Structure 1
Amino acid sequence: MPSIDLAIDLSREACLAHYEGRAGQVIARSLDGRRVVFPAEALRRVVTRDGVRGIYRLCFSDAGRFISIQRLG
């Protein structure tokens, strides 16, 4: 299963926009500098009271469809 590591730094307010459906996708940078776009719904699994901050591994199918996200350290 392909994966990519991302540095994500989203405030509580930014996460709320995603959660409320005002933003359907998240745009982030991978640790190697690539631009990555994934569904905002993925953040529901990792959002905290303060937003989403840290390094995360995004796993996706060979066809490029989102499968999972997990915090790394």
Structure 2
Amino acid sequence: MHYYFFSLNISYQTFLSHYNGAASNILVVTDNGLRLQLPATRFRPFLTQMGVKGRFRLTTDQNNKFLKLEVL
């Protein structure tokens, strides 16, 4: 398994454009400087009135297929 750590701070209004389909992906930069493109739908469980904010850990398998995304 591979683990990727990153912080995210997207306002509620900005995320609405992703939620409504105007933009389907979110580009994040990991703590190691790696750029990852993730489907916006993966962040819906973490959406609050403040937006999507916090530290996250992405877990992938050996082929870099998505396994889970969790807030730390």
Tell me the TM-score normalized by structure 2: 0.87
Partner of 1:59: 59
Partner of 2:16: 16
Task: Give 1:66 shift.
Answer: 2.1
Task: Give 1:39 shift.
Answer: 0.8
Unaligned 5+ segments in structure 1 are none
Tell me, what secondary structure is at the counterpart of 2:63? coil
Cα pair 1:8 1:54 within 8 Å, conserved: yes
Tell me, what secondary structure is at the counterpart of 1:53? strand
RMSD: 1.2
Residue-pair matches, total: 72
What is the distance in 2 between the residues matched to 1:65 and 1:23? Answer: 21
Partner of 1:35: 35
Unaligned 5+ segments in structure 2 are none
Give a deviation string over 1:4-46, Cα, whole Å, max 9, x none: 0111111111211111111111001111211111111100121
Moved over 3 A (4+): none
Tell me the TM-score normalized by structure 1: 0.86
